[in-house]
Structure 1
């Protein structure tokens, strides 16, 4: 039993510890005004008196959100609304600003007006800038050049506290020898910029930890020879002309997500052995194996916890480990892998053989979740390929800790059934196996009234397969557990 004296002592310690919460609101708001946005929000854990107080640290509005409606770009209503926004923004004075969010359509803002918004936000020491142009952003420029009169953003923005920058649909130019010591996150979507401009942006941001490039189709060579010392996350999606990527030194890189034509250079050096998340997808059908050494390092990335491979990358990995006789099984063990996602463009014998070869060569003793996205084609490729490729025997072990598996676009074709049978017989801890049929592609008026896309006899046949786990459930309805999604499912979510 705790005595009264001990309780009073503890209560007094807590009261003394929380004296800062007893300060007048004016003083606490002054403290918050000196903190960056992220730190100000975190003060909410101190006590209930601090929660939400950060929103009042500056007079309203602390953030500016301007969204011009779609419609005629030069209409009188849009012009009047644009003028009202500019006037309202400037009436607030040059007080600190958390975020400037500016969304508009092609033709609604002239270059001087865009510059006016950005310069005002920079003068207010803005911490986050979001610029989004819809309907024509970046189109019309070729080879990284800019059309006269096109909207452009000049980097650096000019704010002394800028931490996050998101740009979509605009041109971007960058100064040489610039320095932005505070910028940590950059997202570029459909941005027209040259290879040199991107290099200048990255080298100017020594604290950059997250970089995302989507649909930047004028980039050809992504080179981070300088400026990637603190980079933790790199995402490159459909930068279709980029054929080379160089990151020779990124000791803190934990996540690399790439979708596009396979690169001819390999970023996986000794400095990125701590990579934890890897996503590799060619984004297209199998048309042979172009020269690349990018996936060849997958078996030796022993710290990977989440891995996504398309069927072409899977073929590369399988071929690489098959031809490497000096590497031991232990060296190829992905002993930290918890989740594996396979994006299959085909499911012929060769594809199934690649899956088996990968699981044989790259042991995954801690694998818990498996996702297989099957092709959407309406015919069974086994019927046209079964004489061409020798069948691969499935691995004997390696799925001892697998407790959840999900196959989407499941149609019940022969090789799909073989994979299901393999999982059920080898995964002794399997709890749930989701088999999700392809979504209807017919118009709403022609869709079937019932929701069961798989025939009853197929469900019956699958349910009768032998199971190593007595608790294994086979589920044909995705709504039973909608949260069962791969961690890399957000790679194609557009900003």
Structure 2
């Protein structure tokens, strides 16, 4: 449930679609003031009285739907912020002055009942400035004001300051916490606390009580999005033994989007945190970034996933586990997958060819519906190119339209010594529908150039191949003299740029996965 703070929320390009004039039943343009070229279309929605807009429309909608009304008319884009009065969207930043903090708390406590409703409340504080009692006062205030979107952030990570989850909030739809500790939560099976909560974001938080985290999930039966980034799960000594040994957290049954980025478990013993997704067939989007050995997930075999992001941290110790882990983690059927982002080392198992000549332990993935593939490469040498060739032949993507290759930053110096040959034949087909290719941090090394030339020759429908190379050097000038590259540039198919083109971006971005 993505919420656009600027009034979008109706999907990518929603604001632009609102500018397209709608035709009437006869297919004519809408009624206008004046005539001729200077005629101004009548915006009947904006002519509605303010009391009708506020009392009869906006105040009766949930927050996400109120925000989405911004696409209906230009004047509606920020209107949702005022549906509960001047403090419908409130932001508090607590710095060094304790007097200002105390004055703000007292002012809020003096507010006359019934409490003013607030759609969005953001509290950003210095850890050393905010006490546990003051934090609880702010959180209880947001519960009384029926806040729908709550963001609480500490500027520095705190192992001591615990976030006090409100006793109940039937209106809370989105909870975002950063740099706090999750240590305690009361759970009543008969009375779920957060029936409307659809999004939980925990960034750089410490889960010091695993039961509290499990209870947070239990009291959110409507949870659709769980976003964990940079979190640490701690073990706890209780009743003479370590709590949550090999703990497996049960996920809400209707979960649709799960993000786990750079989360770790405390390893003083054999404890490991696992997320039980086997019984969550509603999952549509899964994104993971971290160590393959400690990857805490097993995807449901029956999930109809739309997009997958898997980036395994680079380490020589984990290389031998990758091919086996992929077989264990990925669903059997990926026929509905539209977008796949995968790190280059996840393809390493594909190039370990046995004596029979076939790929060893390579998952047999059905990627026939895949539209976009993004490769996050730690390096692009002959062995990596061989991995890619084996992958494309074993898991053909006949409907692939967009390919992104993210290369590591390089010194852009020519390779010294003999050039390794790729000991794998490239795929003969499967790229017929490829339209757009983009290489980021292109370094003009032999293997990268070989892949570019392969795509230019095999992708018959290719319209644009963009090479983003911050440094255009003598090596690049020499390589571009090849006949096929020179002709591709003359046709406008091969493009060079020193800067990243915002108009051509992958569905998944590495920046969006950072804690």
Asked if these proteins are the same fold (TM beyond 0.5), I'd say: yes
Give the 5 Å matches for 1:10-409.
25-26=50-51, 28-31=53-56, 32-43=58-69, 53-69=79-95, 73=96, 78-93=97-112, 94-135=115-156, 137-138=157-158, 141=159, 150-156=160-166, 158-172=168-182, 173-177=184-188, 179=192, 180-193=194-207, 194-218=209-233, 223-225=248-250, 227-241=251-265, 244-262=274-292, 263=294, 267-272=298-303, 274-291=304-321, 293-296=324-327, 297=330, 300-316=333-349, 322-323=359-360, 332-378=365-411, 391-409=423-441
Provide the C-alpha distance between the structure 2 equivalents of 1:340 and 1:51, rounded to a whole number of angstroms.
34
Structure 2: state its 5+ residue gaps.
1-25, 32-42, 236-245, 266-271
RMSD over aligned Cα atoms: 3.5
Whether the 8 Å CA contact 1:303–1:337 is kept in 2: the answer is yes
Between 245-254 and 393-402, report the one with greater CA deviation: 245-254
Between 314-323 and 29-38, report the one with greater CA deviation: 314-323
Number of residues of Structure 1 aligned to a counterpart in Structure 2: 443
SS in 1 for 2:92: strand
Tell me the TM-score normalised to structure 2 length: 0.76
1:432 and 2:458 are equivalent in the alignment: no
Whether the 8 Å CA contact 1:119–1:158 is kept in 2: the answer is no
Cα deviation code 1:170-229 (max 9, x no counterpart): 11232233622110000001111133322221122111000100111226867443x422
Whether the 8 Å CA contact 2:226–2:258 is kept in 1: the answer is yes
Provide the C-alpha distance between the structure 1 equivalents of 2:406 and 2:147, rounded to a whole number of angstroms.
42
SS in 1 for 2:206: coil
Provide the C-alpha distance between the structure 2 equivalents of 1:82 and 1:230, rounded to a whole number of angstroms.
40
User: Residue 68 of structure 1: CA displacement?
Assistant: 2.5
Cα deviation code 1:279-315 (max 9, x no counterpart): 1111334444253644223784121111111122122
SS in 2 for 1:412: coil
User: Residue 234 of structure 1: CA displacement?
Assistant: 0.3
The structure-2 alpha-carbon separation of the partners of 1:251 and 1:471, relative to structure 1 and needing over 3 Å to count, comes to farther
User: Residue 84 of structure 1: CA displacement?
Assistant: 3.2
User: Residue 158 of structure 1: CA displacement?
Assistant: 2.3
Structure 1: state its 5+ residue gaps.
1-5, 12-17, 142-149, 440-452
Hey, what does 1:147 align to over in structure 2?
none
SS in 2 for 1:323: coil
The structure-2 alpha-carbon separation of the partners of 1:289 and 1:494, relative to structure 1 and needing over 3 Å to count, comes to closer
Provide the C-alpha distance between the structure 2 equivalents of 1:380 and 1:295, rounded to a whole number of angstroms.
35
SS in 2 for 1:358: helix
Whether the 8 Å CA contact 1:125–1:161 is kept in 2: the answer is yes
User: Residue 113 of structure 1: CA displacement?
Assistant: 0.6
Whether the 8 Å CA contact 2:81–2:89 is kept in 1: the answer is no
Provide the C-alpha distance between the structure 2 equivalents of 1:385 and 1:460, rounded to a whole number of angstroms.
18
